[in-house]
Amino acid sequence: MTESHTPRDPATPRAPLSADRAESIFTDYKPALTRDQAITEANRCLFCTDAPCVQACPTHIDIPQFIRKIATGNDEGSARTIFSSNILGMTCARVCPVEVLCVGDCVYNDKGEPPIQIGKLQRYATDLAFEKGTQFFEAGPDTGKSVGLVGAGPASLAAAHRLRRLGHRVTIYEKRRVVGGLNTTGVAPHKLRADASLEEVDWVLAIGGIDVRTGVSIGTDLSFEELEKRHDAVFVGAGLGADTLLDAPGSQLANIEGAVAWIERMKLEKLDVSGFQHCVVVGGGNTALDVVREARTLGIPKVTLLYRGHEAGMSGYEHEWESAKVQGVGAAWRLQPIGFEADVGAGKSVAGVKCVRLDETKKAIPGTEHVVPCDLVLLAIGQSTLGSLLASLPGVALEKGRVVTDEQGRTGRRGLFAGGDCRNGGKEVVNAVAEGDTAALAIDAYLKGNSHG
Amino acid sequence: MVEPSNGTKKNVSPSLVSNTGGIVSPNPFWLASAPPANSGGQVQRAFDAGWGGAVWKTLGQPIQNVSSRFGGMHAKGVRGVGFNNIELITDRPLETNFREIYDTKKKYPKHAVIVSLMVETREEWKDIIKRSIDTGADGLELNFGCPHGMCERGMGSAVGQEPKVNQEITSWAVEYSSIPVLVKLTPNVSDIRPHGMAAKRGGAHGVSLINTIKSIIGVDIDSFAIEPRVQNLGTNGGYCGQAVRPIALHMCASLAREEGFGLPISGIGGVCNWRDAVEFILLGSSSVQVCTEVMLRGYRIVEDMNEGLTQYMRDHGFATIDEMVGKAVPNYSEWGDLDLNYETIAKIDPDKCIGCNLCMTACHDGAHQCIHPASTKPGWDGKSRVPVVDESECVGCNLCQIVCPVSGCITMEEVPNGFAPATWNQHVETGAQLRPKKGAH
Ligand SMILES: Cc1cc2nc3c(=O)[nH]c(=O)nc-3n(C[C@H](O)[C@H](O)[C@H](O)COP(=O)(O)OP(=O)(O)OC[C@H]3O[C@@H](n4cnc5c(N)ncnc54)[C@H](O)[C@@H]3O)c2cc1C
Ligand SMILES: Cc1cc2nc3c(=O)[nH]c(=O)nc-3n(C[C@H](O)[C@H](O)[C@H](O)COP(=O)(O)O)c2cc1C
Ligand code: SF4
Ligand code: SF4
Ligand code: SF4
C-alpha cells in the first residue's frame, strides 16, 4: 500500500531504538541454562500424561514433548513444539510468571522435590532457534481475504502470525512508532529488554506478508469505519490505556508520574535519575513490584512501596516482592495517599506524599494523617481502559471498559474480534498470545463462511 | 544444508521410508512384538501417533500369564534403565487377534503390520501362517527368542539356540508364506552369527534382533524373594530396555558385517530415542523396533524420533534410510587390526573444570596414576582445583573422560609420536615396530 492509496493513513516508519536507553544497564535476573544444565534438567522431567504444567499454560504448549526433545538433542524440534503453540515463546520463556503457571503446577511440587524449570528450558530451546534464525512456518496459500489488526502488541502479533499461516492478508496498525506493545515498552528489562522484543517481532514478521503501519492511531488517524471498510475482518488488540492518576491536591507537581509511562521512558530513552534520593511507588500490583526494582537498579538510594492494604493482600506476585526486598526496597502498608506536598524552594516539585492510615476495612483512621517525604512519586494504581475506542460501534458491548467477546474472541459486531489486555482487563503476555491465536482461528472460520463472526 | 531464513521456502525433507526384506513402512520405527502391540486399538493409536509399523504380540496357542510379570532396574535415582519380564505370548483368542490385524491393515494400508508367530508342529505353522496372511499383513516374524516359559515347551529360544531347528522351521515358514519372513533371534547364545546364518539358509528374508536376555532383575534383600515376585517365588526373565542396547548393537553389527550373511536386519534392544535408532541403522538395521521405552513412556515418544531422525539426515546429507544403513559397519574391525601406535592423551579444559577430582580418583585407583592434584603444579596459586595430567604417563584409556561430569571438559587428543601405524597382526606377521609402552612399569 502507498500513501496515495490511503490518504487518511499517515503511517510513519518504525523508530529505531536509541543506544543510550536507561534500560541497557539491566542484566537478566534469571541467567540462561548451559547445555549441561538444560540436559540434566530435561532428563528430570517425567514426561507426564495430561500434564498439569500444560493445563496451566494458557497457550497449552506441549511441555513434556519439548522438554524430551531437549533431552534427546532434538533442539530444533523442541523449538518447533513451543512455537507451534506460542509464537512468542521466546518472550514468554523470560516474562511468564511461571511460578504461578506451569512451574507452579509441576507434579514435582507434590513430590516435595524442586519443580522442573520449564521457563528456563523453554528459553534454552527458543534461544537456540533464534541464534540460528530458524523459521518454522510459512504463509498459507493466499485466500484473498484481508484482516486489519489494531495494535502491534502480543495479542495482535500472535493473531497476525496465525492468520498468515492460514493464508490471509494482514495489516497491523500501531499508534506508536515502536512495535511489540508492552513487551517493548513495559516489561521489566531484567526479564526482557526492548531490543530483544523488537528482534522477536522481526522474527515473527519474517513469515512475510504482514504489513505493519506504525504511527497510525485507529480512531484518530483512521476511523474504525474506514478500517472495517478496508478489511474483511478486524481484530482489536489495543491493550490498556494510560496510567490511572490520583486526583488529589498537589497532583500537578513535577516528579509525580504514572508508572507505566515512566517505565516506557526508561525502556526507550535516556533517563537521568541521579538527583533523586527517595522514590515512593504507590500500588501493590505487579507493575508496582516491577517499578520499585527498576528504580533501585537505576540507582535511586531509597525506594518505598506504599500500599493501602497489608503485605499479604497485595495483588502482585509474592515471588516478585521477595526479589524486590532482596534489592533493598522498603514498604509502608495500609497507607492511602490523600495529597502531595511541594518542595519548600520553588514549590514546583513533589517533596512528600500526604497519607492517612487505613483500618482493616480500608477506612481512614482519623488523626493518622502524615507526610512521607520523597522526591519522586510513581503511581502504579492501574491503567485505564481503551474501551471508549469502540464505545460508538453498534453491537460492541463493554464491561468496565473491557471489550466483551465470547470464548473465541468474537464481539457482538460482525467481523470484529478482540483479544489481549483490552479483552481480559490486563493479564499476562501469554494470555494475550493465547487470545490472539484463538481469535485468529475464529476469524479464519468467519472468513471461510463457517461462522457468523 | 542451509536453512532458508525467509520462512516461505520449504525444506526438502529426507525420506524416512524404510524397507526391511520387502516390508515397507513410512518410517523405520516399529513397535516390537510385546504388550504395546497387543491389540488393534493399541496399534492403531500407535500409528496415529506416528509409528511406521508394528510387530503384533506373538500369536500361538493362547497362554495363561502370571501376576506379577515385570521387574525394573532402577539405577542411581533413575527408574527403569533396565527392565525384565516373565510374560509369555498372547493370551487372547487367535480369532480376536486375526480380526483386529485385518481391521488395522484395512484402516492403515500404508503402515507395516507384521505378525509374530510361535507354535510347535509343522502343521501348526502351516495353519497359523495361512491365517496370518489372510489378514493382509505385510510380513511374518518367527519368534525364536523368548527366553522363559516357552523354551521349556520346546519353542522360543529353544529354537533360536539350535541352528538346525531354526533353519528347519524357517524353511517351513518360507515354504508356506507368500509374504516376507523375518526370524527373530535370541541373544542367549555365545555367538549370534551361526544363528543368523541358519535363518538365512532356511530362506528368511531378514532377521530381527534382539529378543530379551536371560536375567534375574533383582532380589528383595528383606524377604529374599526373586523379582518379579509371584507370591514367594520368582524366575529368570527376559532383560531389555536401554541398558541392553550395547549388547544388541554388537549383535546387529556382528551379523551386518558377517561375510555371506547380507540379510536385512530389524534392530531391537534399548532403543529410546532417535539417536539410539541412528546407531542401529548405522550398524546395519533397516528398521528399529521398540518395546520397553514405549511401555515406560507411551507411543508419543515417536514424534521426537521421527523429527530427530529427519533433522539428523538433513544435517548429514542423507536423502533416504537406505543411504544410512550400515554406514558405520566398515569401521567395526577386529582388535588385531587396530593401530597400536596410535596414541591419545587426556587434556583438561581448565575453564570448564569444576574441581571435583573424580578424574584423579578414577585414574589413581582404576587406571594409571597419572592425574595429580592441582597443588603439584609448579607455581600453583593455592586455590585452583584443576588437576594435572602427566602426559608422559597417560595411556589414553578414556576413564577420566568417562567419569568427568562436565561435558567437553576432558578431551582425548591425538599425539603424533613418529611411529608408523602398526597393528598386532602386522607386528606378528611382519615384525612391524611398536612404540614403547606407556605406564607399564
Ligand atoms: C509494566 C508492565 C509490566 C508487565 N510485565 C509483564 C511480565 O513480566 N510478564 C507478563 O507476562 N506480562 C507482563 N505485563 C502484561 C503484558 O505486558 C500484557 O498483558 C500484554 O502486553 C498485553 O498484550 P496486548 O497485545 O493485549 O496489549 P499491549 O501489549 O498493550 O499492546 C497494545 C498495542 O496497541 C497499541 N494501540 C493502542 N491503541 C491503539 C490505537 N487506537 N490504534 C493503534 N494502536 C493502538 C499500543 O500502542 C500497543 O502497542 C506487564 C504489563 C505492564 C504494564
Ligand atoms: C513385557 C514384554 C513382553 C514381550 N513379549 C514378546 C513377545 O511376545 N514376542 C516377542 O517376540 N518378543 C517379546 N518381547 C521382547 C521385545 O519384543 C523386544 O525384543 C525386547 O524387549 C527388546 O527391546 P526393548 O529393549 O526395546 O524392550 C517382550 C518384551 C517385554 C518387555
Ligand atoms: S508436570 Fe513437571 S514433570 Fe510432569 S511433564 Fe510437566 S514439567 Fe515434566
Ligand atoms: S500398570 Fe495397570 S495393569 Fe499393571 S499393575 Fe498397574 S494398574 Fe494394574
Ligand atoms: S572430573 Fe572433570 S571436572 Fe572433575 S576435576 Fe576432573 S577434569 Fe575437573
Residue-wise pLDDT for B353-384, tens only, equals 999 999 999 999 999 999 999 999 999 999 99
Using a pLDDT cut of 90, give the percent of chain A over it.
89
Rounded to the nearest integer, the mean pLDDT of chain B is 94
Neighbours of B167 (CB within 10 A): 20
| pLDDT at B42 (0 to 100) | 98
- Average pLDDT of span A279-295: 97
Same domain, A211 and A270: no
Which residues of chain A have a CB within 8 Å of the CB of B297? 47
Q: Is the pLDDT of residue A391 over 90?
A: no
Residue-wise pLDDT tens digits, A130-157: 999 899 999 999 999 999 999 999 999 9
Domain of residue A430: give its range.
146-241+384-447
Q: How far is the CA of A53 from the centre of ligand 3 (A)?
A: 6
The total domain count for chain A is: 3
Q: Which of A35, A65, A136 sits opposite B300 (nearest CB)?
A: A65
| pLDDT at A296 (0 to 100) | 96
B68 prior amide bond cis, ω within 30: yes
What's the rounded Cα separation, in Å, for the pair B225 and B205? 43
| pLDDT at A8 (0 to 100) | 55
| pLDDT at B5 (0 to 100) | 37
| pLDDT at A28 (0 to 100) | 87
Q: Is the pLDDT of residue A6 over 70?
A: no
Residue B438 forms part of a structural domain = no
| pLDDT at A346 (0 to 100) | 82
Instruction: Say yes or no: B10 contacts chain A, CB-CB below 8 A.
Output: yes
Same domain, A174 and A205: yes
Same domain, B41 and B189: yes
What's the rounded Cα separation, in Å, for the pair B67 and B62? 16
Residue-wise pLDDT tens digits, A231-249: 999 999 999 999 999 999 9
User: Is the minimum distance from the CB of A88 to ligand 1 under 6 angstroms?
Assistant: no
Domain of residue B364: give its range.
335-430
- DSSP label at B37? G
| pLDDT at A5 (0 to 100) | 44
Pocket of ligand 3 (CB under 6 A): A 45-48, 51-53, 63-64, 106-108, 116, 118
Residue-wise pLDDT tens digits, B198-248: 999 999 999 999 999 999 999 999 999 999 999 989 999 999 999 999 999
| pLDDT at A389 (0 to 100) | 82
Q: Is the pLDDT of residue A390 over 90?
A: no
Using a pLDDT cut of 70, give the percent of chain B over it.
97
Amino acid at A1: M
Q: Count how many pairs of residues, chain A against chain B, have C-beta atoms within 8 Å.
A: 60
| pLDDT at A9 (0 to 100) | 65
| pLDDT at B382 (0 to 100) | 95
The protein residue with its alpha carbon nearest to ligand 5, atom 2, reads B404
Q: Is the pLDDT of residue B10 over 60?
A: no
Which residues of chain B have a CB within 8 Å of the CB of A69? 304, 307-308
| pLDDT at B13 (0 to 100) | 87
List all residues 6 or more positions away from B192 whose beta carbon is below 8 Å from its beta carbon.
B185, B209, B251, B254, B255
Same domain, B22 and B108: yes
Higher pLDDT, B408 or B149: B408
Q: Is the pLDDT of residue B11 over 60?
A: no
- Average pLDDT of span A416-429: 97
Same domain, B146 and B270: yes
Same domain, B395 and B312: no
- Average pLDDT of span B311-316: 96
Same domain, B422 and B302: no
- Average pLDDT of span B79-97: 96
| pLDDT at A344 (0 to 100) | 86
Kindly report the CATH number assigned to the domain that includes residue B425.
3.30.70.20
ipTM confidence score? 0.88
| pLDDT at B154 (0 to 100) | 75
Residue B135 forms part of a structural domain = yes
List all residues 6 or more positions away from A286 whose beta carbon is below 8 Å from its beta carbon.
A97, A315, A316, A317, A320
- Average pLDDT of span B193-199: 97
Residue-wise pLDDT tens digits, B265-284: 999 999 999 999 999 999 99
List the grid coordinates of A178.
Answer: 515502536
The protein residue with its alpha carbon nearest to ligand 5, atom 1, reads B404
pLDDT-derived band at A452 (thresholds 50, 70, 90) equals low
| pLDDT at B326 (0 to 100) | 98
Same domain, B303 and B391: no
Last residue within a domain, chosen from A343, A361, A379: A379
Sheet containing B70-75: which strands, arranged edge to edge? B70-75, B78-85, B237-240, B213-215
